[in-house]
Every structure is written in structure tokens, then in C-alpha cells.
Amino acid sequence: MATISLKYTEDELVASLKRNEKKAFDYLYDQYSGALYGVIYKVLRNEEIAADVMQEVFVKIWRKINDYDPARGRLFTWMMNIARNSSIDQLRKDKYSLDDIEDHVQEVDRLTQHQPNTNTIDLRDMMQKLRPERQVLLDLVYLQGYTQEEAAAKLDLPLGTVKSRIRSALQDLKNYFAL
């Protein structure tokens, strides 16, 4: 089965999501699930629960995409807030104490503070621990807003190599977040 490689600008992606196009949602998941999972896991510190919340987050994104307003911020920032808030809600359901929840929230807030021109979680310091070829890809995809396909073309690498390096880099970051 051949897969069709799609590319979207953020505006095109949002428009396609608002039309409930499954391919756009699949693309959204492929491009952003790693970063969102990292934040969810950092709050919850439990892989199984984080995976469940991750599913809930993408359902919320799907259902609430018409509430997204590009004038108020980037799509990634909006999704990150959904992930953060859903994770905090899960902590409350799990009856953590208010002090525990505050500690988790402060840590995640520290990690998700915006820096000029990045609109991402604070990955730059963590990325320094990664192999250079993985740093470059995360910088292009998560900090500069390139799609995986655009990064592959820019670096003259096969798309599969780009995807596997990004997947490995995100796994490494996940492990760093767990420390």
C-alpha cells in the first residue's frame, strides 16, 4: 500500500481540519504527537496514563478545532494548552494533592514557556544532549515549523530517515524528561 506524502502550511492544515479531513488529522498526529506526548508524560509520569490522555487530547483537538483562532496564537500553542490542561485534569481525577499538582504544573510551565520565535516547549537546552543530526531535525521541524517532508528535502535525506531520526530524538527527549 503506497502512502501519499502530504504537505500543509499551518493555514491549510487548520482549514482541512475544520473540514474534518481524516488525512489532515493523520498528518497533524504524525507531526505533533511526539511533542505533545512529552508534555503529557512530564505531567503524569506514567506511560499508560499518558497514552490514554494523549488519545483524549487528540479527540479534543478534533472536536474543538473550530474553536481555534489563529489570531490568538499558533496551532501548536493551542494544542499544547489542551495537552497541558488535560494532563492536569487527569491528575485531579487521580486525586493527587494540591501540592503535588502544583509541583507538576510548575515543572511543565517551566518547560512550556514560550521563547521568542519558537512557539514550542523549551527544547533547546535538552536538544544539546542529542546527536547533531537529530538536533538539526528537531530544530527544523519543531522550532522552525518545517514539515518532516520539507526537512527531508532541505537536508537531502530520505523521508524515512528523517522520520526515524525524529522518532529516536523524541524518545531520547522523553527519557530526559523522565529524569
Q: Would the pLDDT of 16 be above 80?
A: yes
Of 74, 94, 116, the residue at which a domain comes to its end is 116
**Is the domain of 72 the same as that of 127?**
no
Q: Would the pLDDT of 53 be above 90?
A: yes
**Is the domain of 47 the same as that of 89?**
yes
Question: How would residue 108 be classed by pLDDT, with cut points 50, 70 and 90?
Answer: low
Residue 121 is predicted with a pLDDT of: 44
Q: Percent of the chain beyond pLDDT 90?
A: 25
Residue 179 is predicted with a pLDDT of: 54
Residues 29/58, Cβ–Cβ less than 8 Å: yes
**Residue range 149-157: average pLDDT?**
87
- 3-state SS of 17-53 is HHCCCHHHHHHHHHHHHHHHHHHHHHHHCCHHHHHHH
- Provide the whole-model pTM: 0.55
Q: Would the pLDDT of 176 be above 80?
A: no
Residue 1 is predicted with a pLDDT of: 40
Instruction: Give CA–CA dist 112/80, Å, rounded.
Output: 8
Q: Give residue 164's domain range.
A: 123-179
**Is the domain of 12 the same as that of 82?**
yes
In a domain, 29, yes or no: yes
**Is the domain of 21 the same as that of 58?**
yes
Helical pair 22-44 and 47-64, crossing angle rounded to 10 deg: 140
**Is the domain of 80 the same as that of 129?**
no
**Is the domain of 85 the same as that of 24?**
yes
Q: Would the pLDDT of 59 be above 90?
A: yes
Q: Which 8-state DSSP code applies to residue 5?
A: P
In angstroms, the Cα distances linking 43 to 65, 67, 114, 122 are 24, 25, 18, 15
Residues 168/161, Cβ–Cβ less than 8 Å: no
Q: Which one is predicted more confidently, 146 or 115?
A: 146
Question: How would residue 141 be classed by pLDDT, with cut points 50, 70 and 90?
Answer: confident
Q: Would the pLDDT of 18 be above 60?
A: yes
Q: Would the pLDDT of 125 be above 70?
A: no
**Is the domain of 131 the same as that of 82?**
no
**Is the domain of 172 the same as that of 140?**
yes
**Residue range 145-159: average pLDDT?**
85
* 60 HSE (CA, 13 A, CB side): 16
Q: Residue 16 maps to which CATH number?
A: 1.10.1740.10
Most confident region among 51-55, 82-86, 91-95 by mean pLDDT? 51-55
Q: Would the pLDDT of 144 be above 70?
A: no
Residue 98 is predicted with a pLDDT of: 52
Residue among 107, 108, 142 at smallest CA distance from 123: 142
In a domain, 1, yes or no: no
Rg (the chain; Cα; Å)? 16
* 7 dihedral zone (left: phi>0; alpha: psi -120 to 50; beta): beta
